Amino acid sequence: MNVHFSNFDVSDLVSKGAKARLKKFLKNEINSDDDTKLIKNQLNDCTNHLISKFFKKEEGFNFDIKYLVKGQDIFLSLEKLTNQELEKNEKRQKLKDKIKSEKNKRFELRNRKLFMKSEKNNTKLLSSDNRVTQNMIKSYNIAKSKFGNELPNPIEILDNKDLHIKKFVEYISTVMKNTKTDKELHLILDNEYSSYMAIVTGIDYKKLLQMFKAKIESEKADDNFENLDHHCDDENCGHNKEVIPDNLTKEMVDSDENIEEEINSD
């Protein structure tokens, strides 16, 4: 990193050695690997320290330092302002900030109007489909505010119900694999997305959990029976276990495929 003085020399500094110390300070404090904006932010944070430590004070003047960053080169220029000039600049800056704030408010208002118009059009579109109830629309808006605009609307779900049920099952499967207790599991799954899917598809996550657990318990029981005497078959041993379809919870136990078929058949 190279440090250059644009409009001042050692006569503006507290000593002849101040120039070298100032350059050394900047090279130690500034991360030259950052982008230009971050480097300027670092420099601005150092301004008061640089002025107080390295520059001579002049009665009736206020000092400021401006920075220009070009690659590995930093150019410093000293700005001397009288109290009147400083006050004038501060008023000018306040006016700029006020204008910017008013522009931002107008942009926010315009964006809000566009958003409200978009929401109104979406509601109108959803209401035009006789499969979609007001409860679905209400639940969709609540879930969207939490999970974002990427959430499919009721029409999209109803048009491709199997796909979205599969995604819901995969979501539950992922949560189950990453939680340790039933309490933690229910705390995570008891959310706006689960409620929304239950209303639109009729699939309750609690019902899915029961099916998953039943399948897991069934497989554990099968493993235990395999360890019994090979000469004792089911009929002779009085074993008449209830058979649960293999695809019932395959989403959870194996490859997360086809469980929605079992769910929809209920």
> How far, in Å, are 224, 230, 233 from residue 236 at the CA level?
17, 11, 5
Whole-angstrom distance, CA of residue 206 vs CA of residue 213: 11
**Band of the pLDDT at 245, cuts 50, 70, 90?**
very low
Query: What are 69's strand-pairing partners?
Result: 74
Residue 87's pLDDT is 81
| pLDDT higher than threshold 60 for residue 133 | yes
pLDDT greater at residue 190 or residue 57:
190
Cβ neighbours, 10 Å, residue 219: 14
State residue 157's pLDDT score. 94
Distance CA 264, CA 202 (A): 9
**What pLDDT was estimated at residue 242?**
37
Collapsing DSSP states into helix, strand and coil, what is residue 229?
coil
- Give this prediction's pTM: 0.45
Residue that wins the pLDDT comparison between 73 and 231: 73
Mean pLDDT, all residues of the chain: 78
CA 196 – CA 140 distance, rounded (Å): 6
Overall average pLDDT of the 14-21 stretch: 85
- For residue 13, the number of C-alpha atoms closer than 13 Å in the C-beta half-sphere is 17
- Averaged pLDDT, 158-172: 91
Letter string b/e over residues 194-216, b meaning 16 or more CB atoms within 10 A of that residue's CB:
bebbbbbbebebeebbebbeebe
pLDDT at 225 > cutoff 60: no
More confident call, 253 vs 112: 112
Q: For 29-54, how does the pLDDT look when each residue is reduced to its tens digit (9 = 90+)?
A: 887 777 788 888 888 888 888 888 88
Name residue 167's beta-bridge partners. none
pLDDT attached to residue 200? 93
Look up residue 214 and give its amino acid.
Answer: A
Query: How far, in Å, CA of 69 to CA of 25, rounded?
Result: 16
Percent of the chain whose pLDDT exceeds 70: 81
Least confident of 87-91, 157-161, 199-203: 87-91
Categorize the per-residue pLDDT at 131 as very low, low, confident or very high, splitting at 50, 70 and 90: very high
